[in-house]
Amino acid sequence: MSALKSVVIMGGLGSGQIVASVIEDINAQEPTWEIKGYLNDVEEMGSLIGAYPVVGLTAEAADYAAKGVFVHYAMRNAKFARPRIRRFKEMGIPDEAFATFVHPATHTSGSAGLGHGSLLCAQVNLSFGARVANHNHLYGNAFIGHDSVLEDFSWIANNSAIGARCIIGEGAHLGTNCSLREDVNIGPYAIVGIGSVVLKDVGEDEIAVGNPAKIIGSVAQYKEDPVDARKKS
Ligand SMILES: CC(C)(COP(=O)(O)OP(=O)(O)OC[C@H]1O[C@@H](n2cnc3c(N)ncnc32)[C@H](O)[C@@H]1OP(=O)(O)O)[C@@H](O)C(=O)NCCC(=O)NCCS
């Protein structure tokens, strides 16, 4: 049997644990990964988040990557996505260091493309010609219509349905159970609220909710990650 690959998960409670649970399901089919633990700037070093310990700070991700440990970004926060992702990109970790996890119970068309560091939970369906770039999280039962594109760092919550030929911008978040009409574009860092039905494009940073979805705000005001702010004070 080949040696297990090691991975650290950047994040913890919530999204990080979802990543860990998908890895456990992959391992149940075929032992593949050793989860070393979480890189987390809030919880105490050595403390447990579920079954796995905090093994360092997020700033240590590049060191782990240099040692051949795979890294997975799971520091999800819809409103503070932009400053958080900016700080992560500054780490300059090469794409090849990021592990993608695909739950055994997904359906991915042979012509769909999948980049580095993404997560596909159970029952995700990627239609033909769909492209999922890097660091995207697709939660259970998300449906990505044919020829749609998810740019880097998008976060598609469970049961969301994206129509054909949609483009989801970098860092955008679609809440649980929302639906997008075909050919609709969601701008970078925009948020679509839970249960919304999106018939028209949503611009960069905009927050859209309802049926039909209307713009109710912007994430542009969320300039500094509260975790970084706490570290400075
Ligand atoms: C869109 C969202 C980010 C807005 O959050 P917020 O900025 O804190 O906004 P508020 O909760 O203060 O709501 C503002 C107004 O929008 C309405 N609203 C918020 N979300 C809504 C939604 N999904 N559908 C319809 N109306 C919504 C509120 O009722 C409120 O209306 P009011 O001013 O008339 O009372 C949030 O509601 C949301 O849907 N987040 C996604 C959650 C999710 O998917 N979680 C799963 C992740 S795994």
Residues constituting the chain: 233
Q: Is the pLDDT of residue 1 over 90?
A: no
What is the pLDDT confidence band of residue 102, given thresholds at 50, 70 and 90?
very high
Which helix H or strand E contains 38, and what residues bound it?
strand 33-39
Whole-structure pTM over 0.85, yes or no? yes
Q: What is the model's pLDDT at position 195?
A: 98
Q: What is the model's pLDDT at position 133?
A: 97
Could you give the domains of the chain? 5-97 (3.40.50.20), 101-213 (2.160.10.10)
Q: What is the model's pLDDT at position 2?
A: 64
Selected residue with higher pLDDT from 111 and 181: 181
Q: How far is the CA of 113 from the centre of ligand 1 (A)?
A: 32
Cβ–ligand 1 distance for 196 under 6 Å, the answer yes
The CB density around residue 118, as the number of other CB atoms within 10 Å, is 24
Longest dimension (CA), the chain: 54
Q: Whose CA is nearest to atom 40 of ligand 1?
A: 193
Q: What is the mean pLDDT of the chain?
A: 96
Q: Write out pLDDT tens, residues 161-190.
A: 999 999 999 999 999 999 999 999 999 999
